[in-house]
Amino acid sequence: MLFSGLVAGVLLAGCSPAVTGGDTTCEDFLGQDEKTQNDAVAKMLKDEKGTDAAQLEITGTRLSVQTFCQTAGKQESKIKEAPHL
């Protein structure tokens, strides 16, 4: 019984969408929860800088991306197009 639960958990975890970082579209980004948005922003920043960003930078960038996507960005805009440090 425990084994079947573990197998089901692994299968479900394998079905989760990949974090695409800066290539995430505004439409997808705005539909995500805060943790998933933070993961996308963290990957984008790591891809750009080569190192992990501090939590404060991730949060600030997430808010900047959110504002961009709700105003100037289009649904198909990539989050890497948002102004950020």
List pLDDT tens digits, range 22-49.
Answer: 999 999 999 999 999 999 999 999 999 9
DSSP letter for 79, please: G
Task: Identify the band that residue 17 occupies on the pLDDT scale cut at 50, 70 and 90.
Answer: low
Answer whether residue 14 shows pLDDT above 70: no
Query: Model pTM?
Result: 0.79
Tell me which residue range forms the domain holding 68.
26-81
How confident is the model at residue 48, as a pLDDT?
Answer: 97
Does the pLDDT at position 7 exceed 90? no
Q: Would you say residue 54 lies in a domain?
A: yes
Tally of structural domains, the chain: 1
| pLDDT value of position 19 | 86
CB atoms within 10 A of CB 58: 20
Is residue 2 classed exposed, middle or buried when 0-12, 13-18 and 19+ CB atoms within 10 A define those classes?
exposed
pLDDT of residue 13 exceeding 80, the answer is no
Question: Token pair of 41, please?
Answer: 């922003």
What is the b/e burial string over 11-46, where b = at least 16 CB atoms within 10 angstroms of the residue's CB?
eeeeeeeebbbbebbbebbbeeeeebbbbbbbbbbe
Residue at 2 is within a domain: no
> How many CA within 13 A on the CB side of residue 23?
4
For residue 49, being part of any structural domain is answered with yes
